[in-house]
Amino acid sequence: MRIVVLTGAGISAESGVPTFRDADGLWEGHRVEDVATPEAFAWQPELVHAFYDLRRAALATVEPNPAHRALARLEEHLGDDLTLVTQNIDDLHERAGSRDVVHMHGELRSALCTTCGARSPHTASLADEPPCPGCATPTLRPDVVWFGEVPYELGRIERALETADRFVSIGTSGAVYPAAGFVQVARAAGARTLELNLEPSEGTDFFHEARHGRAGELVPAWVDQVLEDTLAGR
């Protein structure tokens, strides 16, 4: 049983991580193009650093929830047969016990050097321009994929989707590509597809099945079911 799981903002929202985009379309009071594009960083690096420094520091105030822990339990049983892909830049999957997480949109607790390209773990502020651990140049930026940039590990994700028996999307809006297209890739390759979300996503019709409710309840129940099926050889 090979499974690809995609998680989005909805799973972290239940831990109290604010979703980026509010109902008014702003991110914590900022326009997207002012904090989450390469142009914004070139124009106002102080504002962009302050925005991500705050979000990185806020990770200390949230904890993984039962949905994160259930996915860590699934990895324990399936090992490499599970590919866990997240659009989230927080570290809640890791703190729940997941060891191999594909952060397609990067990570708050990582820095990217614009001089040498090295990615390094980083938990402090970036606003005070610390040196890169690789090349010592003080040119670190948040290691997050901004609008107009290419997500990480798309090759690995595509290979996993093409050999998956099941594809499950958890807490995603179905609005942000390329992740919104993963269900169609998996389905075309023969996978059974399931949506677990608070409400029908924009892409809900692409899934074979959809269950709507809180991730903290739906995900542990789904994992229990998968492990029963696996044990029974179904």
Residue pair 209/193 in contact (Cβ under 8 Å)? The answer is yes
User: Which CB, 141 or 187, lies closer to Zn ion?
Assistant: 141
Contact set for Zn ion, span 135-194 (CB under 5 A)? 135
Residue 200 corresponds to which amino acid? P
Q: In terms of CB distance, is 132 or 219 closer to Zn ion?
A: 132
Q: Is 116 in the site for Zn ion (CB under 5 A)?
A: yes
Instruction: For residue 50, give every residue at least 6 positions away whose Cβ sits within 8 Å of its Cβ, in sequence order, or none.
Output: 127
> Which value, in Å, is the radius of gyration of the alpha carbons in the chain?
18
Query: Applying CB under 5 A, does 134 fall inside the site for Zn ion?
Result: yes
The least CB distance from residue 117 to Zn ion, in Å, is 7
Closest to Zn ion by CB, 115 or 225:
115
Q: Which of 4, 17, 89, 132 binds Zn ion (CB under 5 A)?
A: 132
State in angstroms the smallest separation of the CB of 111 from Zn ion: 9
Q: What Cα–Cα distance (Å) separates residue 218 from each residue in 23, 107, 118?
A: 25, 26, 38
Is 105 a catalytic site residue? yes
- Measured CA to CA in angstroms, residue 22 lies from 18, 85, 155 at distances of 9, 23, 31
Bridging pattern class, strands 3-7 and 209-212: unpaired
120 binds Zn ion (CB under 5 A): no
Q: Judge contact between 60 and 15, C-beta under 8 A.
A: no
Q: Does 124 bind Zn ion (CB under 5 A)?
A: no
Choices 19-27, 117-125, 145-153, 201-209 (CB under 5 A): range interacting with Zn ion: 117-125
Q: What is the phi/psi pair of residue 164, to 5°?
A: -80, 145
Annotated catalytic residue: which of 30, 105, 122, 208? 105
Q: How far apart are CA 175 and CA 31, in angstroms?
A: 18
Pick the closer one to Zn ion by CB: 130 or 178: 130
Stretch that binds Zn ion, among 101-109, 111-119, 164-172, 224-232 (CB under 5 A): 111-119
Q: Which residues bind Zn ion (CB under 5 A)?
A: 113, 115-116, 118, 132, 134-135
Catalytic site positions: 105
